[in-house]
Amino acid sequence: MEKELNLSDYISIIKKRKITVLVTIFVTLTISATIIQAKPKIYRASTTITILPSVVYSSSLRMKFESLRAKELIIFHRTFLESKEVLEKVLSSRLLNEDIKKDLGISDLSKKINIKTKRASNDLILEVSAKSNLAAENIANTWAKEYINYRNQAYAKALKNIELAVHTKKLSDLSADLKETMFTLKAKTAVLKELKEEIKNSDSPAYLEVALINTLSELDEFKARTEFLKSMQEEIIKEINGLRGIKTAAEPIALGQENISLASLALLDELKLGRIKIISDAMKPKHYFETSKITVLFCAAIIGFIFGVLFAMLKESPQKINS
């Protein structure tokens, strides 16, 4: 019948096989120490940005929009900060040192970056780990500044689109008004021609002459209005072409392509994300980051002890243990 092992049996085995246990602990500590020494020095630098909430009122939509809640803002901005588009801007930035760019790709950059949050605040800490303290500082500051540029460009684009939509809507209304005015002008011209014919053939043209004078006056008004609307149309076309980056004012404009409501919503979406501001630039780290050697070696000793006991148990045959 096999004997059930108790604590005293385990202690006696450890005492008997203490050399095995000690050797295992020593080997584990040696391996851990070697890894610690061989591990490259890593420097960490961080830039802190804050999200400034905003309240927006859209007169076109007659609605008030507030920034998203702090938690939602942080989630959105974390997603954008780690996006491929932003990282590509960082790598192509003039702010980034050329020597750092040479050996840095998007996958490498994504491994170096980390985003931390501060409790009960809208602050985000952009942390960068690198083998060089200069690289850590340069990448962290470039990352923050390029992200702010990216958000500002997105906001400017949304603002430009809404201006374009408003101008296009105005041009569309103006074109309709001009078309109606020119139609009326054409009709009045036809009436004037008929009145002149009637005056020639009439025996008492007095009342016709009064009508002729009135028609001429109306015709002058519509001509002046037509010229005014045409000049306004040309000015709006120039403004639209300027917003679109078209130099030639004669470029054809496709009416109705931009929708003012959609453009307003796009702008409000940008405003709802708040504004970004750097509150702390990254500084060149003086010391490299390393995990506590004492903690690592202590954990290694515990693991070595456990494996040492297991090896000692394996060396003891079941018959010897039971006896």
* CA nearest to 191, candidates 207, 162, 164, 211: 211
In this prediction the pTM is 0.57
Domain boundaries, the chain: 1-39+291-323, 168-260
Sort strands 113-117 and 275-280 into parallel, antiparallel or unpaired. Answer: unpaired
Q: At what angle do helices 293-315 and 7-16 cross, to 10 degrees?
A: 100
Distance CA 138, CA 280 (A): 14
- Dihedral sign, Cα of residue 178, residue 179, residue 183, residue 184: negative
- pLDDT by residue for the chain (323 residues), tens only, comes to 445 666 677 677 777 778 888 888 888 888 887 776 667 778 899 999 988 776 655 554 455 545 556 677 788 888 889 999 999 999 999 999 888 888 788 888 998 999 998 877 788 999 998 888 888 999 999 999 999 998 888 877 777 776 777 777 777 788 888 888 888 888 888 888 887 777 777 766 677 777 778 878 888 888 888 888 888 888 877 777 776 665 554 444 444 444 545 555 555 555 666 778 899 898 888 776 665 677 777 888 888 888 888 887 777 654 454 45
